[in-house]
Structure 1
Amino acid sequence: MATFDRRRIPAPEDSKPPVYLSTTAGPSRSRGNDELRPLFIKTGLVTQANGSAYVEADGVKIACSAFGPRPRPPPFTSTGTLNVEVKFAPFASQVRRAPLRDTEPVSHAAVLTNLLLPAVHLHLLPKMSVDVHIYVLEGDSDASVLAAGLSAACVALADAGIPLSGLAVGSTVALHGSTALLDPSGPECTGADATLTLGAMPALGRATSLHMTGEADLDAVCDMVEAALAGATSAHDAVAVALFDGVQ
């Protein structure tokens, strides 16, 4: 007779994920189409870094640390260098990522660099380098990771004392038919006709860059940009308050 451990509860032989009913009328939201998810930002997360930030929204959790400015190896340039690194935790998405192979997507780092570069005064840092390390603890969609990653990176750079043109924040809009959804969740991004991620400096009334996937006509893209700018203005207020609280 096989031994039976009475201290443990035997688990079922197999398990199945729950199945949720989906509607064909489009994604359902508990908030308005022009409302952001609740945003939490805190500075000083990594004490070993010159500056750090933690950004959390519903479905997105990102930790960012900034190092520099520090001397860079030759060849020397008249302007500084910005290095952005993005890594995903193995448990960051529903499909578990390989710890060494699938944790550093190059495309995310390249897009975030383009979104962040216009906000950093690298011409004031000759022969120096600034390193930004972004670690994604949870990410329900690539667009949300890019938007929250940009906000986290800019807050970390400001916390480190790096000269900036202004606070750059990210905002995402998903297009479903003729409806633009601000700050979409993961399922809303999956079923969207197009998704746009915008980097903006609302205090200066400028956009740093944008990244778009999918297809949409010109009028729809203009509506998406306007919605993203409005969302960036709301996120900018939360970023400014977080930096002010961090200084105090």
Structure 2
Amino acid sequence: MSDRRRINGPPGATRPPTFVPSPDAAKVRHQRLRKPNELRKTFLQTGLVPSASGSAYLELEGTPGPKSALVPTSSTIKLSCAVHGPKPLPRTASFSPNLQLSASVKFAPFATRVRQGYVPNSIEKDLGLHLENALKGVLLPDRWPKSAIDVAVTVLEGEDDEDGDRFTGAALFNLLAAAINVAMTALVDAKIDCLDILAAGVSAVVPGADTKPVRILDPAAIEHEELLSSCVVGYLPSRDEVVEVWSSGGMSQQSEDGLIGYDDLVDSAIAAARGAQTVIQAVLLESVSSTQTASKKAVTRDNDIEMKT
């Protein structure tokens, strides 16, 4: 007699199903529908976490993938950031005249095809270090002595690279740039004094139609079969300063217009950062205007109540 309280497996051996992408998926995958200097559309919003001092949510527009693929690739980036502080350091900590910044990047368990663990891996540690270095260049640490601030970025979804893996090459740089942008928005939402609005952008050099290298802005890894070089830059537009640079690949490529060097690649990333700064400014102005409107309505409502009483 079988046990009805348990789900018994099949009596014989079984073979798990294997999902193979269709041959047409590769043809549609490596296509860039945007112009070389065109950025992806960005959705940015503040006030995501009410319990935090400041928070923000960022999402990049994804490239439409092939419908025939069983496991379609993704080029969408979704991040959330929460800022806690400034808060006093523990009494046991030594006196510090400057603000202590702690930045971390954590993948959600469902952010990748392979489920992520709770122990931070090497990619998360590298992203956290680069994010912390970039934010240190924009904060005013002497404003809050013996204080600390925590910036926590959560990766809800990341884009695929050309091999189908996650968070390598250009996908890693796009993730860092998005983390810097969403963290800067959350810091301003937390009313933290900063030198400027920090923005990050990514540029790359890819083979053109006639095998000549071409510079592009905001490269999506699944749109290009090969990336000759790529670079991410954290930039302060008003001060014209670069606070973070991370590059990979060969830095000298011969194109139709001449030799593409490291300076040209950085200039393209700065142009992408300026585009991201425009989005951040628009969202912050909208957030301030909505807050002022809400405060005016609250004052008017209080005055009406006092007059009625």
Q: TM-score range by the shorter chain?
A: 0.7 to 0.9
SS in 1 for 2:261: helix
Partner of 1:47: 50
**Preserved contact between residue 45 and residue 56 of structure 2 (Cα < 8 Å):** yes
Matches within 5 A, 1:54-69: 54-58=57-61, 59-69=76-86
Identity in percent: 30
Q: Compute the TM-score of the two structures, normalised by the length of structure 2.
A: 0.71
Is 1:203 matched with 2:238? yes
Q: CA RMSD in A?
A: 2.3
Q: Out of 21, 37, 45, which is 2:26 matched to?
A: 21
Partner of 1:84: 103
**Preserved contact between residue 86 and residue 134 of structure 1 (Cα < 8 Å):** yes
Uncovered stretches (5+) of structure 1, i.e. residues with no partner: 1-11
C-alpha distance in 2 between matches for 1:190 and 1:135:
28
C-alpha distance in 1 between matches for 2:53 and 2:123:
22
The amino acid that maps onto 2:244 is S
Q: Out of 236, 246, 262, which is 1:221 matched to?
A: 262
- CA distances 1:29-77 after superposition (whole Å, capped 9, x unpaired): 1111111100110000000000000011031000000011111131121
C-alpha distance in 2 between matches for 1:22 and 1:151:
32
Q: Compute the TM-score of the two structures, normalised by the length of structure 1.
A: 0.87
Is 1:33 matched with 2:52? no
Partner of 2:210: none
Moved more, 69-78 or 157-166: 69-78
The amino acid that maps onto 2:34 is R
SS in 2 for 1:227: helix
Cα distance change on mapping 1:65 and 1:104 into 2, 3 Å: farther
Moved more, 218-227 or 79-88: 218-227
Partner of 1:187: 222
Q: Which gives a bigger RCO, structure 1 or 2 (Cα 8 Å, sep 6+)?
A: 1
C-alpha distance in 2 between matches for 1:244 and 1:93:
34
Moved more, 115-124 or 153-162: 115-124
**Preserved contact between residue 87 and residue 104 of structure 1 (Cα < 8 Å):** no
Partner of 1:108: 127
C-alpha distance in 2 between matches for 1:188 and 1:198:
21
The amino acid that maps onto 1:131 is D
Q: Out of 189, 196, 209, which is 1:159 matched to?
A: 189
**Preserved contact between residue 71 and residue 129 of structure 1 (Cα < 8 Å):** yes
C-alpha distance in 1 between matches for 2:95 and 2:78:
36
**Preserved contact between residue 174 and residue 188 of structure 1 (Cα < 8 Å):** no
**Preserved contact between residue 120 and residue 164 of structure 1 (Cα < 8 Å):** yes
Partner of 1:231: 272
Partner of 1:4: none
Give the superposition deviation at 1:136.
Answer: 0.4
Give the superposition deviation at 1:27.
Answer: 4.5
Give the superposition deviation at 1:187.
Answer: 2.2
Give the superposition deviation at 1:103.
Answer: 9.2
**Preserved contact between residue 62 and residue 148 of structure 1 (Cα < 8 Å):** yes
The count of aligned residue pairs is 235
C-alpha distance in 2 between matches for 1:41 and 1:152:
8
